Structure 1
Amino acid sequence: MSDMTQTAPLRPESAVAESFMMLWRDKFAFVSALFLLLVTAAALFGPALLPDGAMTMNLRGRNAPPFEWERGWVYLLGADNLGRAVLARLVIASRYTLMIAVSAVLISLVAGTVLGLLAGYCRGRVETVIVRGADILMSFPSLLLALIVLFVLSPSVSNVVIVLAISRLAVYLRTCRAEVMEIRERQFVTAARALGASHARMIFIHILPNVIPTLMTLATLEFSAVMLSESSLSFLGLGVQAPAVTWGLMVAEGRGYLASAWWLSFWPGVAISLTAISANLLANWVRTATDPAQRWRLEWRAK
């Protein structure tokens, strides 16, 4: 009887448990994941729990300072220049901020992946046209391009999403193309080609699954960049317009009261910073967990 033992493949519940243990061992990533879950829950369920809290005005409570418990828990973080609860507006603004960031990331991820697969797998004129288009797009600073387009178009939610998606598309395209060009030369792809595999099977079965981990890590990092870009556009007055509200718009509305009511810009600024930091820390964990050359570090710490 052989002493060699074969390791059985992990069942789905075992894989989830192992991933959770690796996340638990990385305290920074675990806290980041919890914070992002909290923000997501606030974006999904907060508007239903606070339907009028962000729009109800109380001129007698204008610029009320934070931590005055007699006003109620909704006014825990203070009130703005129209007497609206800052905490309620933060919760409502999280929906618009996350919706814009996630939508822009998904659009640019899908479009950039498709174009990157074509540019990396196909050679000749198709690759040249796609790569030159990406070079032209990357020659303009993303924020400047967004400012120009939104200055011409109306600064609505849909236009902000489209502009941010287009400005970040080249990042996914170039990354996916580089990955595909390296993977298509590996031995298992060469063997599949020799066995007569179709182009569609080569791309979607053999190449794309090996590209997805890198792209997902990049998408997590780009989420922070897109959210900061949206906040910058709203701060400059070319992002989402009232009555819709985002964290960046809240910072812009409070900049005129920094000397007398610092909390108007401080709390949305803290929300933007913590969300961006959490996304970056979680992206670093995802990159390590999905990289076979680095995964052993988390597995060793999880034992």
Structure 2
Amino acid sequence: MTAEASETTNAEEPHVVVRLTRMLWADKFAFCAAIFLLAIVILAIVGPSWLGDLATKQNLRGRNAFPFDWERGWAWWMGADALGRPLFARIIVATQNTLMVAAGAVAVSATAGTLLGLVAGFASPRVNQVIMRLADVIMSFPSLLIAVIVLYLLGSSILNLMLVLAITRIPVYLRTTRAEVLEIRERMFVQAARVMGASGKRILFRHILPVVLPTLTTLATLDFAYVMLAESALSFLGIGIQPPEITWGLMISQGRQYLTNAWWLSFWPGLAIIFTTMSLNLLSNWMRIALDPVQRWRLEMKGRTNG
């Protein structure tokens, strides 16, 4: 192929952002999930400054106000809680804490687990055994039980909750990364890099890690939903984030005593959790295909047809 033909081919290839957008548009469920998650992230950023005062302002005359009462104003269309605070404003403000805990826990656990998994899969058998026994110790205890004990002893706060959930999820990334490294290190391009004199650190981070990242990205998307549900469960049990902070799980917990006469207090935050976790699962399924070179062509062909 001549240089001119190569330049023409490269010019005709769309930008990577355009390719990803086309592949996302090819899967309508994943596209809707991405739009919903983008809206959730925007609300988490601007929500507290936009509706923070309204979410904490009490109005005892409007206790447990019924939803869809448009005469009160747009902020009350989901109803009000036991202290007369609008549920719509509180759900938006609670989005930041809910996503902050989940994102922080996933980031810490993914980083620590990936680094330990890279070392365990590439280092000597003795180091591998030590790291894997550490993972076995963590996995020998139920994750929620560890969270309950630690939060009871150290107290409930956003930082403590984030760290506890992160520690319980480290073995997931550690085992996944180690399994991938054990297979990838035997491939020809790794052997070639070793023969050419590349250091172990360079082989790990320049040759092996980029191959492992797609799998870890899909895993992190799924784990984000799991951690968010775990935080909601802990808040529901009363050992998660405590007032005056707000999370979706805490709102469900506060509304459970009114389920018989004010079901909407727990229904709306529960619906927010359901939609968010479902969107994460749909996007994770799309990412599994889009990041796989063997299956990616299906989305690319469908995207070109729809385009």
TM-score range, shorter-chain basis? over 0.9
The one-character-per-residue Cα deviations of 1:279-302 (angstroms, maximum 9, x if unpaired) are 010011111000011111111211
- 1:10 to partner: Cα distance: 7.4
How far apart in 2 are the matches of 1:176 and 1:10? Answer: 36
Partner SS for 1:291: coil
Query: Is 1:203 aligned with 2:204?
Result: yes
Structure 2: distance between partners of 1:206 and 1:10: 27
1:84–1:12 distance in 2 versus 1, CA, 3 Å: farther
Q: Name the structure 2 match of 1:172.
A: 173
**Is 1:221 matched up with 2:218?**
no
- Matching residue of 1:122: 123
Residues 38-86 of structure 1 show CA distances to partners (whole Å, capped at 9, x for unaligned) of 1111100111111311100000000000010110001010000000000
2:158 aligns with: 157
SS of corresponding position for 2:55: coil
Which residue of the partner structure matches residue 105 of structure 2?
Answer: 104
Structure 1: distance between partners of 2:297 and 2:27: 13
Identity of counterpart residues, as a percentage?
57
* Alignment gaps of 5+ in structure 2: none
- Deviation string, structure 1 residues 117-141 (Cα, Å, up to 9, x no partner): 1000102221111001101111111
The 1-side partners of 2:286 and 2:97 are apart by 26
Partner of 2:235: 234
Question: CA RMSD, aligned part only?
Answer: 1.6
Partner of 2:268: 267
TM-score of the superposition, structure 1-length normalised? 0.96
CA deviation vs aligned residue, 1:127-172 (integer Å, no higher than 9, x gap): 1110011011111111121112112220111110000000001000
Change (3 A) 1:122 1:8: farther
Name the residue aligned to 2:183. Answer: 182
Give the aligned residue type for 1:108: S
- Specify the alignment match of 1:137 in structure 2: 138
2:223 & 2:173 partners in 1: Cα distance?
A: 10
The answer to which of 221-230 and 44-53 deviates more is 44-53
Superposed, 1:39-58 pairs within 5 Å as: 39-58=40-59
Match of 1:59 in 2: 60
Cα separation, 1, equivalents of 2:136 and 2:294: 31
Name the CA distance, whole Å, in 1 between partners of 2:11 and 2:272.
38
Q: Deviations over 1:154-192 (max 9, x none)?
A: 011111000000000100000000011110000000011
CA distance in 2, matches of 1:124, 1:286: 33
Cα distance in 1 between the residues matched to 2:147 and 2:297: 41
Which letter maps to 1:220?
A: T
For residues 5-56 of structure 1, give each alpha carbon's deviation from its aligned partner in whole angstroms, at most 9, with x where no partner exists: 6584579971111110110110100000011011111100111111311100
Q: Note the C-alpha offset of 1:197.
A: 0.7
How many residues align? The count is 301
Equivalent position of 2:285 in the other structure: 284
Structure 2 length as normaliser, TM-score?
0.95
Greater share of helix: 2
- Secondary structure at 2:53's aligned position in 1? coil
Q: Which amino acid aligns with 1:246?
A: T
Judged with a 3 Å threshold, the aligned counterparts in structure 2 of structure 1 residues 121 and 10 are, in CA distance, closer, same or farther, namely farther
Alignment of 1:19-58 (within 5 A): 19-58=20-59
Distance in 2 separating the partners of 1:8 and 1:98: 42
| Paired amino acid for 1:177 | R
Mapped partners of 1:214, 1:123: distance in 2: 24
Q: 1:12 to 1:167 in 2, by over 3 A?
A: farther
* AA in 2 matched with 1:292: P
- Aligned mates of 2:176, 2:34 — CA distance in 1: 25
When residues 78 and 172 of structure 1 are mapped into structure 2, their CA distance, relative to the original with a 3 A threshold, is same
